[in-house]
Structure 1
Amino acid sequence: MSTKEKILKTAIKLFSKKGYLGATTKEIAKEAGIAEVTLFRYFPSKENLFEETLSVYSFLPVLKGLLPDLANMPFDKALKIIAHEFLNTLESKKYLIRIMHSEVSNYPDKVHKIYHNFIEEMIKTLASFFEEQQKKGILREFNTNSGAMAFLGMFFSFFNARELHMMKNFKNLDVKKIVEDFIDIFIRGSIK
């Protein structure tokens, strides 16, 4: 494992445990087994480290990796794969997400911008997949950014209720069935 990978792995661990505000670069460097000055050679600031951590350990690289394989797949099957991977990524990062939600109002403007840019890029990436489906005649015309927000929002709301708010009635739900139901509603709507 390279020094950069070691720093990122340690950063995600400490950001997940202590949050962005609680984890210091000194702690990250110490736990990674390097000097703090070495950390700053790779990441000039804590904000840069946070941004790189999000870009490596978030759903965005997963989504970008999936899309080429999904391009010629039936649309409903592609959406199921995206939904399951999104939920799996959220589940694996639930401690980081929980801490980020609790401290986000205290983030400096730079960190807010990093976080918002990351979410916007994820939406744009999924929207580009929807645009390709529109060009193929599979999807009707609609605002693909709104479609991407709606799609990801359904699953994030489910994750949020189930894992972050720990709502008991959501814990016993069959995730596979929820994915199928949400995708059916997303594709077909709710009008009879």
Structure 2
Amino acid sequence: GFGYPALIAGCMMAPTAVGSILAKSGVTQLLRRLGYRRTLVGVTIFIGVMIAQFSLQSAALPVWLLILPLFVLGMAMSIQFTSMNTITLADLNDENASGGNSVLAVTQQLSISLGVAVSAAVLRFYEGFDSTNTVEQFHFTFITMGVLTVISALVFMLLKPKDGRNLIKDRHKPKQTPVPSEQE
């Protein structure tokens, strides 16, 4: 809708991917500090706000003002996915971990597909308004999807504040070597 060439529009995914990769290294520290519940609620609300803010974009703005939010959104989505994946698989043992991973992968693909379908339906709804142009229809869709994402953060409120502590409490701390006793 902004008239970007196909190459530029296609490259808009790169900042999201780079942000996603860079965020991976800080997830454990964030989870240690905030816990799973606060991290997942907070990052989901943040993602909703980031999605809604895309309604402020226009063709008159410089491209970097689109690249920067995409980069930050990639970081937030990476934190969300990593946090959800680890807490989802936390209680699985070696015997059912493979099956759990498979179910998780399918669930994530279904979630993405459902998100795309709902977004398309919302966009189609706004296309029915004759007084709006394509860019405005997308803006309304971004606002709607942002609000739905913020509302979805309520799901993570079902976690108990201490859920997942066993996953992050003592990980990556140096192991203490046993002190030899005098009898040895």
User: TM-score normalized by structure 1?
Assistant: 0.36
Q: Name the one with the larger helix percent.
A: 1
User: TM-score normalized by structure 2?
Assistant: 0.37
Q: Bigger relative contact order, structure 1 or 2, given CA contacts below 8 A and separation 6+?
A: 2
